[in-house]
Chain A
Amino acid sequence: MEFFTLHDFMTYSKGITYLIMGAILVFMPLYWLYLTDRDD
Chain B
Amino acid sequence: MAKENITAEKQFLTPFNVVAGIILLVGAVITILRFTKGIGAVTNLDNNNPWGLWIGFDLMCGVALAAGGYVTSSACYVFGLKKYHSAVRPAILTAFLGYALVVFALHYDVGRPWRLPYPIFYSQGTSSLLFEVGLCVFLYLTVLFVESTPAAFEWLGFKKIRAWVVRLTLVLTIFGVVLSTLHQSSLGALFQIAPSKLHPLWYSGYLHVYFFISSMFAGMSMVIFEGTLAHKWLHHKMDETHLAEAEGVVLGFGKAASFVMMGYIGIKLIGLAVDNNWHYLTTGWGFWFLVELVGFVLFPAILYGMGAREKNTTFIRIAAFWTVLGIILNRLNISVIAFNYHLPSADRYVPSFMEVGTTIFIVTLGVVVYKFITTRMPILYEHPDYKEHH
Contacts and interface: CB of A to CB of B under 8 A. Distances in A.
Decide whether A and B are members of one complex: yes
Majority-rule SS of A interface residues: helix
A16 B273 contact: yes
B373 interface: no
A28 B255 CA distance: 13
Contacts of B308: 35
Contact of B276 (A12, A21, A31, A36): A12
Contacts of B262: 27-28, 31
B127 to A, nearest CB: 29
Nearest to B265: A24
B309 interface: yes
Contacts of A28: 259, 262-263, 266
B64 to A, nearest CB: 23
Interface in B305-334: 305, 308-311
Interface string A22-36: 001001100110111
A7 interface: no
Given A9-B276, A12-B276, A13-B274, A35 B259 contact: yes
A28 B269 CA distance: 14
A35 B305 contact: yes
A5 to B, nearest CB: 14
A36 B255 contact: yes
Contacts of B181: none
B307 to A, nearest CB: 10
Interface residues of A, number: 19
A31 B269 CA distance: 17
B146 to A, nearest CB: 35
A32 B274 CA distance: 26
A24 to B, nearest CB: 4
B317 to A, nearest CB: 17
Contact of B305 (A9, A12, A24, A34): A34
Contacts of A14: 274
Given A28-B262, A35-B309, A13 B255 contact: no
Contact of A31 (B259, B273, B274, B310): B259
A38 B274 CA distance: 37
A31 B310 CA distance: 15
Contacts of A20: 266, 269-270, 273
A38 B273 contact: no
B274 A17 contact: yes
B173 interface: no
Name the residue among B276, B305, B308 with the largest chain A CB count within 10 angstroms.
B276
Nearest to A3: B276
Contacts of A17: 270, 273-274
A15 to B, nearest CB: 9
A13 B276 contact: yes
Nearest to B308: A35
Contacts of B255: 35-36
B247 interface: no
Name the residue among A16, A28, A36 with the largest chain B CB count within 10 angstroms.
A16
A9 B263 CA distance: 26
Nearest 10 CB-CB pairings of A with B:
A24-B266, A17-B273, A16-B273, A13-B276, A20-B269, A35-B255, A17-B274, A20-B273, A35-B308, A31-B262
Interface of B: 255, 258-259, 262-263, 266, 269-270, 273-276, 305, 308-311
Given A27-B262, A35-B309, 8 more contacts: A1-B276, A12-B276, A17-B270, A24-B270, A31-B259, A31-B262, A34-B305, A35-B259
24 contacts: A1-B276, A13-B276, A14-B274, A16-B273, A16-B276, A20-B266, A20-B269, A20-B270, A20-B273, A24-B263, A24-B266, A24-B270, A27-B262, A28-B262, A28-B263, A31-B259, A31-B262, A31-B305, A32-B259, A35-B255, A35-B309, A36-B255, A38-B309, A38-B310
